[in-house]
Amino acid sequence: MHKQEMLEVVDEQDNVIGLETREKIHKEQLLHRDVHVWFITPRSEIIFQLRTKLKDSFPGLLDATAAGHVEPNMSYEETVLKECKEETGLDIDISKLVLLRKMKNESFDKVNNNIHRTIDRQYAYLYEGSIYDLQIEKDNTESFELWKIDSLHNLSEKDKTRFIPARVNEDTLNLFYKAREMLIDSAR
């Protein structure tokens, strides 16, 4: 029998108020915790992960380099380390991780007709290696793609459909400029 993934349900202040299955949380649009990590290269590029078409949410779309739900009794930072290892094969240096923002997020998944409601912490990480050194997580990721930060504001309508919509909205695009400023521009 397949074991159900359990996640913590949180209130608007990010306090844990219960434990439910991932399926129920998504179906009933319960607020839960999430992390997103954006690998930024010294050449002002972002590495996006192409999700497999088998994913139960946002299949076949470009997403953060690494992302995931915060599991019960784990911190956001512990989740970042776990997800980066699973989704890229890398043990990242937590001291080089930059918190960009913590926010309440709602994203609509057209495939499942669900709204994902999360308290989301988004981080940037200066990645100085090659995209070819990243290991693809089987059944999760198809590939990784490099995109210039400056090109993301001028995406064609066709290119926009390749991304999870929340990853290329104005607010997130501005976050990428903030990440570049914090990781690259300040080091110069």
- pLDDT tens, residue by residue, 171-186: 999 999 999 999 987 7
Judge whether 19 lies within some domain. yes
Name the 3-class secondary structure at 25: helix
Residue 94 lies in a domain: yes
Average pLDDT over residues 127-132: 95
pLDDT tens digits, 41-64 = 999 999 999 999 988 778 899 999
State the pLDDT at residue 111.
67
Distance of CA 23 to the CA centre of its chain: 19
Tell which wins on pLDDT, 140 or 124.
124
Domain CATH for 177: 3.90.79.10
What is the residue type of 175?
L
Q: Would you say residue 1 has pLDDT above 50?
A: no
Residue 188: its pLDDT value, please? 59
pLDDT, one tens digit per residue, over 131-163 is: 999 999 988 899 999 999 999 999 999 999 999
Could you tell me the pTM of the whole model?
0.90
Does any domain span residue 178? yes
- DSSP state string for 77-142: HHHHHHHHHHHHS----GGGEEEEEEEEEEEEETTTTEEEEEEEEEEEEE--S-GGGSPP-TTTEE
Buried b (16+ CB within 10 A) or exposed e, 143-152: ebeebebeeb
- Specify if 45 maps to a domain: yes
Domain assignment present for residue 1? The answer is no
Burial 87-98 (b: 16+ CB within 10 A, else e): bbebebeeeebe
Domain that holds residue 53: 6-187
Domain count, the chain: 1
161 belongs to a structural domain: yes
The pLDDT tens digits for 66-119 are: 999 999 999 999 999 999 999 999 999 999 999 999 999 887 777 667 778 999
22 touches 55 (CB < 8 A): no
Residue 60 lies in a domain: yes
Task: Give me the pLDDT at residue 146, please.
Answer: 97
